[in-house]
Amino acid sequence: MNQNLQQLFTIAQKPERLCIGLMSGTSLDGLDIALCSFSGNGVQTSFKLINFTTIPYQDKFKDEVKQVFAKRHADLQQVTLLNAYIGTYHAELILQALAGWNIKPSEVDFIASHGQTIYHAPKHQHGQAGYANATLQIGDGDHIAVKTGIITISDFRQKHIAAGGEGAPLALYGDVILGSKPSENRILLNIGGIANLTYLPGDGNLSKVISTDIGPGNTLIDAACREYFGKPYDADAEIAYSGTVNDTLLEALLHHPFFNEQLPKTTGPELFNLEYVANAQQATRDLNIAKADLVATLSAFTARTIVQFIAKNFQVDDLHIFASGGGARNPYVMEQIKKALPKATIGNTSDIGINPDAKEAILFAALGNEALCGEPMPIGSNPAVLMGKFSFPK
Ligand SMILES: Nc1ncnc2c1ncn2[C@@H]1O[C@H](COP(=O)(O)OP(=O)(O)OP(=O)(O)O)[C@@H](O)[C@H]1O
Ligand SMILES: CC(=O)N[C@H]1[C@@H]2OC[C@@H](O2)[C@@H](O)[C@@H]1O[C@H](C)C(=O)O
């Protein structure tokens, strides 16, 4: 028998599995590495976050990825080189993190790697006749497996698309497993580059779970900070607080068919970028807005799209919202959300035992655990599939 299959069989039967979940998001800030242990599967899963770190990317690496990231036209050689390079680079960062935690690679049962999204193209966004939903994550799993010596599960989004989804959000599978609570209507709201949420009804009826992207999280705020202030992001919303929201521009930003698309829907910086902002400014015929006012307006845009979505789709006086992602650290955005939804309880996912910075890396670890020993779970209209491809060190 192929020894790799034998090893998978053994790991799947262990009472507890030690694993690493990896996320490299659209903000391109760094690699999130979560060391977790899992027992069981599906709604019977129990999980512990043992260690977590985000290793920031070097500027040179960010610049190289940005050459192809969310670009309609890119150098195919660069994409090819990056696919292998990111796999090897992520493997090096994993080995570095494990050494810091005094864990030997041989102790880890598997790695679950998201890779780096370089292009996300749901049909409603690409609009090309004859083509279905599509998405592309690079950072090849074989390179991670060979370099670390650890079985690696990767490329989770393709199966979701093959089975009729948009390849995202995948958070719902982890949110149902790790974040549900009987008799409490919950929303797990992740504000990363793009904001998304999962609604978990307190009656446990999985057919009522809703999970979708909402719109921009930090991506426009970050882009404006980079472009006009030479900063990677608006730390503690200092710039937003120093500016004033331009209501006319805010209305123009809110005017886009994406916000009326059917659920579930997904998006990315392919749509929400500085060109989107420039088009909205053109529509207002006011191109001379002060740069701090622009950052304030983009921050208000993020908060407003989240608030409008929640107010339109849920009964807010019986709702517990738990935020996560880097945007949950943006006081301006969070303040506006709390002010506009006074009847909902709003906290962050640490209130329910999930580290808000680690949440997406934990999600991929949970998806890896399902790929090894779970069963497809029907949740609403979402594809009931096990996702991920297996790579072996030998
Ligand atoms: N102290 C802070 N003040 C304001 N914003 C912050 C702060 N800390 C983090 N952020 C925001 O969070 C971003 C990083 O968020 P996160 O790591 O969740 O993104 P991501 O994982 O790349 O996103 P995605 O989930 O879309 O893939 C930063 O770029 C910044 O915009
Ligand atoms: C294609 C892609 O990488 N999408 C990401 C991105 O970041 C947030 C949002 O857009 C979400 O849809 C998704 O990631 C999370 C982990 C998800 O699939 O749930």
Among 314, 340, 367, the domain-final residue is 314
- Are 350 and 356 contacting, i.e. CB atoms less than 8 angstroms apart? yes
Percent of the chain with pLDDT over 90: 97
Tokens 């002060």 found at: 290
Same domain flag for 310 and 377: no
Taking only the tens place, the pLDDT of each residue in 357-379 is 999 999 999 999 999 999 999 99
Q: How far is the CA of 185 from the centre of ligand 1 (A)?
A: 26
| ipTM, 2 dp | 0.97
Same domain, 21 and 152: yes
**Does the C-beta of 167 come closer than 6 Å to ligand 1?**
no
CATH code, 82: 3.30.420.40
147 and 290 belong to one structural domain:
no
384 assigned to some structural domain: yes
Residue 50 has pLDDT above 90, yes or no: yes
CA of 11 to the centre of ligand 1 (A): 34
Site to substitute for ligand 2 among 138, 177, 194, 218, most atoms within 8 A of C-beta = 194
Q: Are residues 296 and 371 in the same domain?
A: no
* DSSP assignment letter at 329: G
Q: What three-state secondary structure class fits 11?
A: helix
Q: Are residues 127 and 21 in the same domain?
A: yes
Q: Report, as an integer, the average pLDDT of 80-98.
A: 98
Ligand 2 centroid – CA 170 distance (Å): 7
Q: What angle do CA 224, 52, 88 make, to 5 degrees?
A: 75
Which amino acid residue places its CA nearest to atom 15 of ligand 2? 169
Q: Is residue 342 part of a domain?
A: no
Kindly state whether residues 128 and 228 are assigned to the same domain: no
Residue 346 lies in a domain: no
> Which among 32, 33, 238, 330 is the best mutation to test ligand 1's pocket, defined by most ligand atoms within 8 Å of the CB?
330
Beta bridge partners of 98: none
What backbone phi and psi angles, to 5 degrees, belong to 366? -65, -40
How many C-beta atoms surround the C-beta of residue 376 within 10 A?
13
Which residue, chain included where needed, has tokens 């191109």? 287
- Name the 3-class secondary structure at 288: coil
Domain match, 169 and 215 both:
no
Q: Give the pLDDT mean for 119-126.
A: 98
Question: How far is 126 from 279, CA to CA, in rounded Å?
Answer: 18
Residues ≥6 apart with Cβ < 8 Å to 102: none
* pLDDT score recorded for residue 286: 82
Same domain flag for 167 and 196: no
Amino acid identity, position 249:
L
Q: pLDDT tens digits, residue range 291-320?
A: 999 999 999 999 999 999 999 999 989 999
Per-residue pLDDT band for 287 (boundaries 50, 70, 90) equals: confident
* 25 known ligand binder: yes
Is the domain of 197 the same as that of 102? no
Write the pLDDT tens digit of every residue in 221-236.
999 999 999 999 999 9
For Cα atoms 181, 185, 188, give the angle at the middle one, nearest 5 degrees.
Answer: 80
Note the pLDDT of residue 312.
Answer: 96
Q: Report whether residue 210 contacts ligand 2, using a CB cutoff of 6 Å.
A: no
Helix runs in the chain, H state only: 3-13, 59-66, 76-100, 123-126, 141-148, 157-162, 171-179, 219-229, 238-242, 247-254, 274-284, 291-313, 331-340, 359-373
Residue 378 lies in a domain: yes
Q: Is residue 55 over pLDDT 90? A: yes
Q: What's the number of domains the chain is made of?
A: 2
Q: How far is CA 204 from the centre of its chain?
A: 24
Give the distance (Å) from ligand 2 centre to CA of residue 325: 11
Ligand 1 contact via 268 beta carbon (within 6 Å): no
In a domain, 34, yes or no: yes
Which ligand 1 atom is nearest residue 219's CA? Answer: 31
Question: How far, in Å, CA of 358 to CA of 33, rounded?
Answer: 8
Which of 314, 336, 367 lies at the terminal end of a domain, its last residue? 314
- Does the annotation list 172 as a binding residue? no
Domain limits at 382?
3-175+357-391
pLDDT at res. 44:
94
Same-domain status, 144 and 35: yes
Q: Is the CB of 327 under 6 A from ligand 1?
A: yes
Q: Whose CA is nearest to atom 14 of ligand 2?
A: 169
Atom index in ligand 1 nearest the CA of residue 27 equals 22
Please tell me the distance between residue 120's alpha carbon and the centre of ligand 1 in angstroms.
19
Please tell me whether 30 is known to bind a ligand: yes
Decide if 374 is inside a domain. yes
Per-residue pLDDT band for 285 (boundaries 50, 70, 90) equals confident
124 pLDDT band (50/70/90 cuts)?
very high
**CA-326 nearest atom, ligand 1:** 12
Per-residue pLDDT reduced to its tens digit, 130-185: 999 999 999 999 999 999 999 999 999 999 999 999 999 999 999 999 999 999 99
Q: 169 CA distance to ligand 2 centroid (A)?
A: 5
18 and 150 in a common domain: yes
SS3 state at 129? coil
**Which among 314, 342, 373 is the end of a domain?**
314
For the record, the structure tokens of 392 come out as: 């072996």
Which stretches of 243-341 are assigned E, i.e. beta strand?
A: 320-324
Our answer on whether the CB atom of 22 is closer than 6 Å to any ligand 2 atom is no
Residue 41 backbone phi and psi in degrees, to 5:
-155, 170
263 is in an annotated binding site: no
77 in a structural domain: yes
- Report how far Cα 376 is from the mean position of its chain's Cα atoms: 21
Question: Is residue 108 pLDDT above 90, yes or no?
Answer: yes
338 part of a folded domain:
no
pLDDT of residue 316: 87
**Which ligand sits nearest to residue 28's alpha carbon?**
1
Tokens, residue 204? 């446990």
Q: Which atom of ligand 1 is nearest to the CA of 325?
A: 18
Measured CA distances, 94 to 17, 20, 36, 138, 154 (Å): 17, 8, 13, 17, 15
Q: What is the pLDDT of residues 1-10, one digit of tens each?
A: 899 999 999 9
Residue 389 has pLDDT above 90, yes or no: yes
Q: In whole numbers, what is the pLDDT of the chain averaged over residues?
A: 97
Q: What is the pLDDT of residue 133?
A: 98
Query: Could you tell which of 190, 226, 266, 329 is best to mutate to test the pocket of ligand 1, judged by most ligand atoms within 8 Å of the CB?
Result: 329
- The count of residues in the chain is 394
Measure the CA–CA gap between 117 and 120, rounded to whole angstroms.
Answer: 7
pLDDT in tens, 188-205: 999 999 999 999 999 999
Residue with the smallest CA separation from ligand 2 atom 12 is 169
For the chain, how far is it from start to end, CA to CA, in angstroms? Answer: 14
CA nearest neighbour of 98 among 114, 109, 86, 82: 109
CA atoms of 208 and 143, how far apart (whole Å): 39
Q: Which 8-state DSSP code applies to residue 359?
A: H
Do 191 and 279 have their domain in common? yes
